[in-house]
Amino acid sequence: MQLSDECKGCLFNSQLKKAEREQTDKLKLKEFVDKVRALCANPPKNYCAPLLMRDIDRAYAWIFGTGLDYSEEKAMFDNLLLKMEDKLFQRVISADDCLSEALKFCMAANFIDFARLSDLNAESVEYVISSAACAVPDAVALLSLKNKLETAKTLCFLHDNCGEIVLDKILIRLIKQIYPGVAVTSVVRGGAIINDVTIEDAKAVGLYEFADVIGNGTAIPGTYLKEASKETLEVLGKSDVIISKGLGNLETLYGEGYNVFYMFTCKCGHIADRFGVPLWSAVLTEEK
């Protein structure tokens, strides 16, 4: 999806706040601000938000010596949700429609996004849980997902952020329970970027117990096919079902010819307009 002015402003503000919290060298901070302004003012043609975020992180690393570090935030949200995992899983399997209930949590959990929201804290987890209770998976997309899982042998799950990966894990656990013949491959980022999930994060939350996990070969907050690993492209090509989490995956993968079930929290006005959904709503949609 084309980079919008809304994306430029959002990424500029969120990452500047992060830099200001952690850096005290005013000259370097000014250099960072000027560099990000230049990136936002003159992005390459056909750029998208995840590529701009990669460039912002590279600029930060060049000026301060290391990329933007979200390890503390990632660990906090993973640990908070891991403590809730068993209780939430019991809630899911006790529901009349288990798959729908698990999807609600996955959709709502995409709220945990430091590219869009720079001031998330422990209270944000409670917001996610309460939002899940109000989420309603699209009935047509839900039925289609169920039908495809009934006959599927392979599922590719494209993950997004830490914290929400625990809710993804609950969904995968459920799918493995309901559809035991489905082999799941989880695709995470190939390197650290914002609070996105890496191989190390997947290990930390125990995702390997329920899925094969691979890195996508890039430190880009999305699934950018032009730079994705050969293994990632092979998994996408052979999977019977593809589930994609978050806006970064949506913005890099939408329109590329794959049949994908997208789950996300609609945090952006241009995404709300594109899909005809309310801002901040939890979304399940299928691209055929």
Question: Coil, helix or strand for 122?
Answer: coil
Q: What is the pLDDT of residue 12?
A: 80
Architecture of 71-287 per CATH? Answer: 3-Layer(aba) Sandwich (3.40)
Query: For the segment 242-278, what is each residue's pLDDT rounded down to a tens digit?
Result: 999 999 999 999 999 999 999 998 888 888 888 999 8
Alpha carbon distance 181, 216 (integer Å) = 24
Residue 144's φ and ψ, nearest 5 degrees, are -65, -40
Q: What is the pLDDT of residue 118?
A: 64
Q: What is the pLDDT of residue 155?
A: 98
Residue 169 makes CB contacts below 8 A (sequence gap 6+) with: 85, 205, 206, 207, 210
Alpha carbon distance 108, 202 (integer Å) = 20
Q: Identify whether the C-beta of residue 218 lies closer than 8 Å to the C-beta of residue 191.
A: yes
Query: For the segment 25-35, what is each residue's pLDDT rounded down to a tens digit?
Result: 999 999 999 99
Mean pLDDT is lowest, of 43-57, 103-117, 166-180, for 103-117
Q: Is pLDDT at 284 greater than 80 in this prediction?
A: yes
Query: Which sign does the torsion angle of CA 94, 139, 182, 152 carry?
Result: positive
CA angle 244, 246, 248 (to 5 degrees): 100
Domain parsing of the chain, residue ranges: 5-64, 71-287
Query: For the segment 168-214, what is each residue's pLDDT rounded down to a tens digit?
Result: 999 999 999 999 999 999 999 999 998 899 999 999 999 999 999 99
Q: What is the pLDDT of residue 280?
A: 83
pLDDT band with cut points at 50, 70 and 90 for residue 215: very high
pLDDT band with cut points at 50, 70 and 90 for residue 78: very high
Q: What is the pLDDT of residue 50?
A: 92
